[in-house]
Structures are given as C-alpha cells and as structure tokens.
Amino acid sequence: MNTLINISFVAINISLILASDPVPEQIHLSLGGNPSEMMVTYTTFKKADRSIVRYNRLGGPAFDVNADVTHFKDMKDDTMKYEAYIHRVKLTGLQAGVTYEYKCQTDDNWSDVFKFKALGNDSDTPLSVAVYGDLGLENGVSTPQLKKDVKKGLYDTIFHVGDIAYNLNKDGGKVGDDFMNEIQDIAANVPYQVCPGNHEDKRNFTHYINRFSMIDFKSQRMHNHYYSLDLGSAHFIFFSSELYFWSDYFTDHHLKWQYEWLENDLKDANKPENRQKRPWIITLAHRPMYCIKDNDEDCFEHESILRKGRSGDDLKLVTHYGLEDLFYRYGVDIQFYGHKHMYERSYPIYDSKAYKGTDVYTNPKAPIHIITGVGGTTDRPSLKKELPDWTAFYARDYGYTRMNVQNKTHILIEQYSTENYRCKADNIWSNVFSFKVHNPDTPLKVAIYGDLGLKNGVSTRQLIKDVEKGLYDTVFHIGDIAYNLNSDGGSVGDDFMNSIQPIAANVPYQVCPGNHEKKRNFTHYMNRFSMVDFATQRLNNHYYSVDMGSAHFVLFSSEHYFYPQFFTESHIKWQYEWLENDLKQANKPESRQKRPWIITLAHRPM
C-alpha cells in the first residue's frame, strides 16, 4: 500500500512539473514568402528562455532556427480572457520535393517529430489540395479522415475557408487550443492555409489574427485577412468576406484597402507572362455570393452584399466595393466559399445569369462558385425542393472538397463524403485556353479578314484549325463582325463571339469598326472589345496602333466619315490629328529603322 501511494505521489509531482513548463503544442505549418519557405507556428502557456525549431532533410544534418515570440493577451473589460505565447519560425531554402523532418523546442521541452515535403516554384507540377470550411471541435466529423489522407500523402496543402473550431475564443480559448491540438497531425505535416469566417469575429478577430501566420507571396508580409499564393499552375487569392459584415470593426477604409489590394493582385496575375505561367486564378473566402439556402442577409438575395458591396458608412460612395464585377473582369476561374453547411456547385455564373448546357465547364464563360461548408458542424439545413437556376449540384453529406490542379489546362474537383467514405457523384473538369507571347524580334504571322458573320461564317472552321496549328501570332478582323453584334437582342453577337472563341481566346483578336457595327452609336462594338493603343496605353476601340515584329499597325475608323448622326466634324478632326501624330512618331528615324513597315487597317476602302 505504501508503494502504491508513493508511485501515485511521484506521478502527481511529474504532472505538476510539466504543467509549469513551456511545452510546445498546437504546432502547424503555413507557407512562407514562396513555396521554398515554410512557417512553423506553435504555442506555449509559459514564457520560454529558448525557443527553436530543429529541422533537417531525412538523413541530413540538423539546423536550428530561433523563433520570434509574441505575447498574446485577449482582454475583455480589463479582464484577462486568455494568455499565451505564439512562436513563429520561418524555414528557408527548402528544396522542392524533398522531405524534411522537424521538432520544436522550448527550454528543455521537445515536441514530437513531424515531417513535410517542400513545395516548389515549378508551374508544371501537379497540385493536390483539400478545401473545406466550417470544421469544429465538436462533431468534427471530417478530421479523422483528413488525418488518414495526410498520412497517406494525398495533399500538398490544406485550405480551411473560415469558421474554425467553433470557436477559437470559446471557453476562454480552450476550444481553440483543443481544436488546434486535434488537427496537429494534419496541420503540422502539410501547410494549413486559412481565411476568416464569421465565427472568428470575437474582439475584432483577435484569436484568429494571433494564432495563424499567413504570408502574402508578393509583399512577403504576414496578413491573415487577405493574401495570395502561387502554387503549381494556379494563383490562389484568400480574402476576408467578413470586412463586409462587421461594421463595428471594419470601415469603408478597410473595404477600400482590401479591394485595391485585390485589384492590384489580379492585375499582376493577369500580366501575360504570369497568366501564361499560371492560367488558373482561384479565390477563397468564407461567405458566398450565391447559395441555395434562404437567408435574410446575403447570398440568396438578388443584390448580395459580397457581390454588390456594402452601403452605410458613406452613402456618397459611388461604389461600395462589390466583388463580382471585379472577379469577372479579371477572369477568376473558380471561387470557393463555406458558411452554408452543405456542398454546392454552381454552373458558370455572372450577375445571376447561369451558363447552362453541355460541356459548360470547358472554357466556362463565367466563374464557377463552390460552397464547401460541411467539414463538421452541429447543424445542417434541410434540402430545398426548388433550386435556384444556377445550382448544378448539391449535397448535405459531411465532407470536404478534393481539388487536383493537374496542369495548365485541367483541374479535377470532387467532393468526398465522410459519411459514405467515398467521393460523391459530383466531380467536374475544367480547362482553359493557352496563348503565346510574341517576341518582337521574330517574324510575325497574321490572318486578316473582314465581313465574317455567324451565319455562313465559312472561314471560321479553317481559322480554328490554323490557330490550333499555331500558324498565327495575331488576327485582324477589319469590321462587319457577326452580322450583327446587336441582332436578336444581342444573341447573334453572343453566339458569334462563342463561335470564334477557339480563335480569339488563343491569339490576340484585333478589330476595327465596320458599318454593321453602327447600331445605337456602335454600342455593342464599343463594349464587347478592348483595343488598347500602344502609345497612350488607353482603350480606344475606334482608332489605335500597335507595334508588332518589324511593323507598325494603325487601325482606324472609316465609319467616322459616313455617320454624321454619330460623328461630327470634331470627331473626324480628332481622329485625323491622332493619325497624323501617330504617323509622325512612326516616321522618326529611330522608329522607322526599328519598324520600317507601316500598315493601316480599316473597313471601307478608298
């Protein structure tokens, strides 16, 4: 009996000693400033005099990196609700495809050993991702299967699109602590990328901001609300839908800053050299633009807040930073969301118009919206009998989305059900067009034609074959387009633009106006095309010039001379003066020596 008492007493002492030490826990990875860097983030509840991460290639020498430590205090009304020390270490110079092992040390306490495989910058490398939102500690039904998947090496990274733990701050932060320890076997072995949801809101998202370490690849700064990554052949953009819903925390200035960051990031991703390298642009946030479930605040309503923007702070604002137009304008391919506790996939959709039909995910005409909000919650909505027009597929099964970015033209997306332990019937392929950037020092090959319509468009089929063979660097269509762009309420224009898509989506399709574009002051022509003048860098669909190869091309409007109801003498004068100035510039000795050919293009002949 005495021995048993002594053993019990010793065990109690050991546990007390351990509880007083700064023991590393809640270990998780996230990507650093590029795929060859990895952030390691971990937590202690006591201050450590020494905090390091020791890492090495399998079988190689070990290296120690010191941690940066933040003292996190969650205060409410001068009362300490939570206190911890957040440790961050950046591992750099990692080699793509190489497996590393690491462990964390705080004072004399070591964590378990974890392993990860470093990613790389190669845009031709396939990428496998698990995507989900709304995964909690209670009823976290997807967590066991995700642990098995990660152990098998199925994923390169994980994306958790908000509503984390339910809630990170709950029970004085204990729920957040337990959740982060519960997912440690996932998040300590693959990068765990997150964005905020509505359940992260408490005290201005303080637990979310302090517990994670999301690094923006371009700025190289930590920014947990919005950031972007380049992985494989995709550009991923994480942003905060919550800026639109918590006016106590976020003013119009915050919306403006995020919107401007998004636009600048999208502009950069759409530079020809970047879009050629990473043609896929994929956005991720918590609250969706479109959804099945009726909701009195967003996503089912015709004018949703995320789509059209928030009003209220400044009613004089011309725009309230709605995102649907922005994402459509810059060619976002897929948008992932959570928040609604089901899985939903839309048809390609823009401005509530769904593009339905056969093969709609091949070169889709608008972004595809996917809600993956069934990671593991305590409630799910009932199924609706009447579905919105945009809904292509939905399911209530708990689970998560698996996405395989296979290459520059194909992505496979499938929904895994943790209730049935299989992939649901939902899986889609999508592909994109490719294009080649012309080298100005090489010969130039061009196809030129006018007067090509939808009906009896006999040249279209051969042009498609030519472009598939790579015969042209660009195409010039000199007026009379579709016959007519506006006919049948614009449907002829739509169908024509779709019929030439295999041409115009793969090589630059330069146009100038003809007489059949005249309706309502050339409005369809002016709005459907985007011709940029090289000299001024401005959009001008009537007249502009481009330098390609050893030639200077000048495209202008013959129609100015024939429609006085639209074009006055002033319009003719402005075009004439622009032409003369452009030709003067092209005839400067240094310009003419570089590009001795000057070629003009318009619709009506002399």
Residue 310 phi, psi dihedral angles, 5° rounding: -100, 140
Look at residues 156, 160, 204 and name the one whose alpha carbon lies nearest to residue 182. 160
Question: Mapping DSSP to helix (H, G, I), strand (E, B) and coil, where does residue 228 land?
Answer: strand
pLDDT for 431 equals 58
The domain made up of 1-121 has a fold known as Immunoglobulin-like (2.60.40)
What integer pLDDT is reported at residue 433 of this predicted model? 52
Tell me how far apart the alpha carbons of residues 235 and 508 are, in angstroms, rounded to a whole number: 23
Find out whether 541 and 529 touch, Cβ atoms under 8 Å. Answer: yes
Report domain 446-601's class: alpha beta
- Whether the per-residue pLDDT at 428 is higher than 80: the answer is no
DSSP type of residue 362: B
In the chain, ranges of CATH 3.60.21.10 domains = 122-430, 446-601
For domain 122-430, the question of CATH label 3.60.21.10 is answered with yes
Is pLDDT of 313 > 50?
A: no
**Cα dist from 444 to 502, 512, 561, whole Å:** 20, 20, 31
Burial degree of 369 (CB within 10 A; 0-12, 13-18, 19+): buried
Q: Which helix (H) or strand (E) holds 493?
A: helix 491-499
Residue 8 has pLDDT above 50, yes or no: no
Identity of the amino acid at 117:
K
Task: Kindly report, residue by residue over 157-215, the tens digit of the pLDDT.
Answer: 999 999 999 999 999 999 999 999 999 999 999 999 999 999 999 999 999 999 999 99
pLDDT in tens, 439-464: 556 789 999 999 999 988 999 989 99
Q: Do the beta carbons of residue 555 and residue 603 sit within 8 Å?
A: no
DSSP for 511-565, written as a single string: EE--GGG-HHHHHHHHHH---B-TTT--B-SSSEEEEETTEEEEE--GGGGT-TT
CA angle 365, 469, 331 (to 5 degrees): 20
**Against a cut of 0.85, is the pTM above it?**
no
Contact 410, 431 (CB under 8 A): yes
Per-residue pLDDT reduced to its tens digit, 258-298: 999 999 999 999 999 999 999 999 999 999 999 886 554 56
For position 17, what pLDDT does the model report?
38
Own/partner contacts of 270-273, CB < 8 Å, gap of 24 or more, are: 270/330, 270/331, 272/435, 272/437, 273/437
Residue 385's pLDDT is 63
What is d(CA 475, CA 481) in angstroms, rounded to the nearest whole number? 13
Phi, psi dihedrals of residue 580, rounded to the nearest 5°: -65, -45
Residue 438 pLDDT exceeds 90: no
Give ∠ CA 359-361-363 in degrees, rounded to 5: 100
| Alpha carbons 179 and 45: distance in angstroms, whole number | 16
Residues of the chain with CATH 2.60.40.380: 1-121
**Rg of the chain's alpha carbons, rounded to an integer?**
29
What is the per-residue pLDDT across 96-116, written as a single tens digit (0 to 9) for each? 999 999 999 999 999 999 999
Express as a percent the part of the chain with pLDDT over 70: 90
List, in sequence order, every residue forming a beta bridge with 511; answer none if it has no partner.
Answer: 477
To the nearest 10 degrees (0 to 180), the angle between helices 174-182 and 202-211 is 30
Q: Is the predicted pLDDT of residue 318 greater than 50, yes or no? A: no
- Work out the widest C-alpha separation in the chain, in whole angstroms: 115
Whole-angstrom distance, CA of residue 58 vs CA of residue 222 = 29
CA angle 556, 275, 241 (to 5 degrees): 110
Averaged over 478-506, what is the pLDDT?
A: 93
List the structure tokens of 344.
Answer: 């939903």
Closest CA to 544 of 524, 561, 530: 530
Q: Are 340 and 373 in contact (CB under 8 A)?
A: yes
pLDDT score of 278:
96
- What is the phi/psi pair of residue 428, to 5°? -135, 150
Residue 181, Cβ density class (10 Å: 0-12 exposed, 13-18 middle, ≥19 buried) = middle
